Chains A and B, each alone.
Chain A
Amino acid sequence: MTVVKDETPADRLAAYDAAEPAGSGRGERLSALAQQHGALVALVAIAAVASLSFDSFATTGNIENMAVSSAFLAIVALGMTFVIVTGGIDLSVGSVFVLGGVLAAWGSRHGTVVALLLPLAVCGLIGLVNGLLIARLRLAPFIVTLAAMLGARGVMLSVTDEGADTYLVAEGSLFADLGQGKLLGIGVPVWITAALFVAGGILLRRTRFGQHVYAVGGNEDAAALMGAPVARTKTLVYTLNGLLAGFAGALNAAWLDSGVTILGYGMELEAIAAVVIGGTLLSGGMGFVGGSLVGVLLLKVIQNVINQIGSLDSAYQQVVSGGFLVVVVIAQTWLARRRRVP
């Protein structure tokens, strides 16, 4: 007896997703799988080994600590994923992050709304300017956002009297709770990050805007010929990235209780590394937000493991991260080539 089952749209989508790697053959599908989920496998493996080796790794306190400290970088990496899928790059996120934190801490004395809206407005504006310069004037993203990196840090310094003033978050405010509060035993920033990733995943995978993002990254000229609003999509992506980086900075300020002015150095590189480790190709047109989250967690777990070893100082962490990134990009490039070349 055969059971006839109605094919739901979800099934069809699943079938489409499964068939997505061009051509057939188990090898290619395996390559695709490794590329997309290799980071997850590595994360699980490292976490498993770490929890067996160190008593203090799999404790509630340590996991909670890792989760909250990952949250801020994860939000930045979420925006970066969108930018990289369009084939661009944004080097300004570290500066925008620290600017967002300073503005939020300054604004918190005028209430939670100001503390949130001020950084969002300013950082969104920086993202918008980046996007307009890149999309309308067709300047290279690398260099535009490099300039924005200098400019945003300059604005931050001029707001804080050359970094001498550290604004404190108003005590007992709702805004401070946003960073330090807990819901069901889990820190509020973790909840917010999770919600943003779900929203980001839906935005990228299930909306017209998300399709445009993929199309622009895949082939800009083809996307334009098919009628996708290339310039608008790019502008929006950089604006979104500015908003998310500023928001992450604000959240971080709420967590730290102050707008620390020396943060964010090298954050753009960490975010790009997380996105690349997560399986998003820097050449654009391919990628997914879940991978970036895994990439962030992987970086933070490695960092934590190195701290657990104790006898190694934090310099080794950079050596390991750098070496790990080399291994990942070699694997990525090799896997991508296997998939593309017939």
Chain B
Amino acid sequence: MADLTLRRALPADRERVLRWLQEYGVYLGVALLLLVNIAFTPHFLSAENFRTQAVQVAPVVIVALGMALAIGSEGVDLSVGSVMALSTSLVALYMGYGPWIALIVAVVGGAAVGLVNGSLIAFIGVQPIVATLALMVGARGLALVLLPQLEDIRDPGMATLGSGEFAGVPYVVLIAAALALVVAFVVRRTTFGRQLLAIGDSRPAAKLAGLPVRRVLIVVYVVCGVLAAVAGFLATARLSASDPTSLGNLMELSAITAVVVGGTPLTGGRVRIGGTVAGAVLIQLLTATLIKHDLEPSWTQIAQAVVIILAVYAARERGKR
């Protein structure tokens, strides 16, 4: 889009600082928050505390990975929270056949929602916000139809998955880390990753260049749905209960926040997986810090709002070129 207003050129060094901040600001933020907490928060430097924080942030990270792909393709997926709810309902219904079958059914459910999202966006040309909004409403309803109320999950396998750990690191965290590595590899090193970024940069250009635009978009939303379903499965394991009414509420917002704070521009064409993980950690640490210092949740929300605005403001400078 042509920029019609004349802008005064930024001094070179200021621009360099800004660019550095865009690139590494989120890591700097995490480091600062860690230092502040180590200095001022009692009992912060304990393995137990780190474990708690990591376990809490893991589902957000998993969902945000898919969201980063959707945003990188110049889209968005609002249905992820509802897919988590659908996943937890399916897990409760199929737990009788064992955790593996339940996981497979949940993943198939998430993939199906993603397939509908992707088809609406790729074939019919519906805007991602509207398409995924419809599925957000529909999938949450479906989750509640399948399982109208909270149900306890009593399965030893699920309990191990939810609270067990390997070498001091909870399984949930290990799974999130592994998924982040896989997604980062896909984005950086595979043809699919390149195609995704090209489409996010300019869909018409990608189409003219002969890229399989529709197929890539559908895969993006299917992956997004599958990751949300996995997050729902893990959350169910951790809570030892299936609660489709509240699980995943506002998860789409947390995930979008993590992606944006991590420096992935909303205009597409660029995906930063490391930044996304750091973005999720930053928000988690910020919330934890405020709560530990007895600030009320209301202030936590206001602080989050400010961080989001600052992050997009920083990201905006890049777009000017």
Taking the closest CB of chain B, its distance from the CB of A90, in whole angstroms, is 12
Known: A142-B129, A143-B266, A225-B4. A153 touches B301 (CB 8 A): yes
Binds A, one of B51-59, B119-127, B231-239: B119-127
Residue contact A316 to B145, C-beta cutoff 8 Å: yes
Question: Is B142 on the interface with A (CB-CB < 8 A)?
Answer: yes
Residue contact B296 to A162, C-beta cutoff 8 Å: yes
* Complex Cα–Cα for A143 and B315 (A): 12
Interface string of A313-333 (1 = CB under 8 A from B): 101111111110110011001
Residue contact B260 to A143, C-beta cutoff 8 Å: yes
Residue contact A329 to B308, C-beta cutoff 8 Å: no
Residue contact A283 to B138, C-beta cutoff 8 Å: no
Binds B, one of A23-31, A40-48, A103-111, A133-141: A133-141
Binds B, one of A5-13, A112-120, A268-276: A268-276
Question: Is B1 on the interface with A (CB-CB < 8 A)?
Answer: yes
Residue contact A139 to B312, C-beta cutoff 8 Å: yes
* Complex Cα–Cα for A286 and B14 (A): 41
Looking across the interface, which residue of chain B has its beta carbon closest to that of A331? B124
Question: Is A89 on the interface with B (CB-CB < 8 A)?
Answer: yes
Taking the closest CB of chain B, its distance from the CB of A1, in whole angstroms, is 53
Q: Among A224, A322, A334, which residue has its beta carbon within 8 angstroms of that of B141?
A: A322
Question: Is B299 on the interface with A (CB-CB < 8 A)?
Answer: yes
Question: Is A148 on the interface with B (CB-CB < 8 A)?
Answer: yes
Taking the closest CB of chain A, its distance from the CB of B308, in whole angstroms, is 4
Q: Among A133, A149, A225, A283, which residue has its beta carbon within 8 angstroms of that of B309?
A: A133
Residue contact B137 to A321, C-beta cutoff 8 Å: yes
Interface of chain B, main secondary structure: helix
Question: Is A22 on the interface with B (CB-CB < 8 A)?
Answer: no
* Complex Cα–Cα for A321 and B1 (A): 36
Residue contact B124 to A333, C-beta cutoff 8 Å: yes
Interface string of A177-208 (1 = CB under 8 A from B): 00000000000000000000000000000000
Question: Is A150 on the interface with B (CB-CB < 8 A)?
Answer: yes
Residue contact A221 to B4, C-beta cutoff 8 Å: yes
Looking across the interface, which residue of chain A has its beta carbon closest to that of B139? A322
* Complex Cα–Cα for A155 and B303 (A): 11
Residue contact B125 to A326, C-beta cutoff 8 Å: no
* Complex Cα–Cα for A302 and B130 (A): 19
Looking across the interface, which residue of chain A has its beta carbon closest to that of B320? A138
Looking across the interface, which residue of chain B has its beta carbon closest to that of A321? B137
Question: Is B197 on the interface with A (CB-CB < 8 A)?
Answer: no
Taking the closest CB of chain A, its distance from the CB of B302, in whole angstroms, is 4
Taking the closest CB of chain A, its distance from the CB of B247, in whole angstroms, is 14
Residue contact B141 to A147, C-beta cutoff 8 Å: no
* Complex Cα–Cα for A282 and B134 (A): 14
Taking the closest CB of chain B, its distance from the CB of A68, in whole angstroms, is 23
Known: A142-B76, A330-B126. A157 touches B298 (CB 8 A): yes
Question: Is A229 on the interface with B (CB-CB < 8 A)?
Answer: no
Residue contact A318 to B138, C-beta cutoff 8 Å: yes
Known: A154-B300, A323-B138, A329-B120. A146 touches B308 (CB 8 A): yes
Question: Is B148 on the interface with A (CB-CB < 8 A)?
Answer: yes
Residue contact A313 to B126, C-beta cutoff 8 Å: no
Residues of A within 8 A of B139 (CB): 322
Question: Is B305 on the interface with A (CB-CB < 8 A)?
Answer: yes
Taking the closest CB of chain B, its distance from the CB of A236, in whole angstroms, is 19
* Complex Cα–Cα for A220 and B296 (A): 42
* Complex Cα–Cα for A276 and B137 (A): 15
Looking across the interface, which residue of chain A has its beta carbon closest to that of B76? A142
Looking across the interface, which residue of chain A has its beta carbon closest to that of B142? A319
Residue contact A142 to B266, C-beta cutoff 8 Å: yes
Taking the closest CB of chain B, its distance from the CB of A149, in whole angstroms, is 8
Question: Is B272 on the interface with A (CB-CB < 8 A)?
Answer: no
Question: Is B34 on the interface with A (CB-CB < 8 A)?
Answer: no
Taking the closest CB of chain B, its distance from the CB of A203, in whole angstroms, is 25
Taking the closest CB of chain A, its distance from the CB of B5, in whole angstroms, is 9
Question: Is A59 on the interface with B (CB-CB < 8 A)?
Answer: no
Question: Is A293 on the interface with B (CB-CB < 8 A)?
Answer: no
* Complex Cα–Cα for A7 and B306 (A): 57
Residue contact B266 to A140, C-beta cutoff 8 Å: yes
Question: Is A173 on the interface with B (CB-CB < 8 A)?
Answer: no
* Complex Cα–Cα for A315 and B89 (A): 13
Residue contact A89 to B297, C-beta cutoff 8 Å: no
Residues of A within 8 A of B309 (CB): 133, 139, 144, 147
Residue contact B253 to A137, C-beta cutoff 8 Å: no
A interface residues (Cβ-Cβ under 8 A, vs B): 89, 133, 137-140, 142-144, 146-151, 153-158, 162, 220-221, 224-225, 269, 272-273, 276, 282-283, 313, 315-323, 325-326, 329-330, 333-334, 337
Q: List 29 A-B contacts (CB under 8 A).
A: A133-B309, A139-B316, A140-B312, A146-B253, A150-B301, A150-B302, A150-B304, A154-B301, A154-B302, A154-B304, A162-B297, A162-B298, A225-B4, A313-B145, A315-B143, A318-B137, A318-B141, A319-B141, A322-B135, A322-B136, A322-B139, A323-B138, A325-B138, A326-B131, A326-B134, A329-B124, A329-B134, A333-B124, A334-B124
Q: Given known contacts A142-B129, A329-B124, what 19 new A-B pairs fall within 8 Å (CB)?
A: A139-B312, A140-B266, A143-B266, A147-B306, A148-B305, A150-B253, A153-B298, A154-B304, A154-B305, A157-B297, A158-B299, A272-B130, A273-B137, A282-B130, A315-B145, A315-B148, A321-B137, A323-B138, A326-B116
- 7 closest Cβ pairs, A-B complex: A322-B138, A318-B141, A154-B301, A157-B298, A315-B144, A151-B305, A158-B298
B interface residues (Cβ-Cβ under 8 A, vs A): 1-2, 4, 76, 78, 116, 120, 124-127, 129-131, 133-145, 148, 253, 256-257, 260, 266-267, 296-302, 304-306, 308-309, 312-313, 316
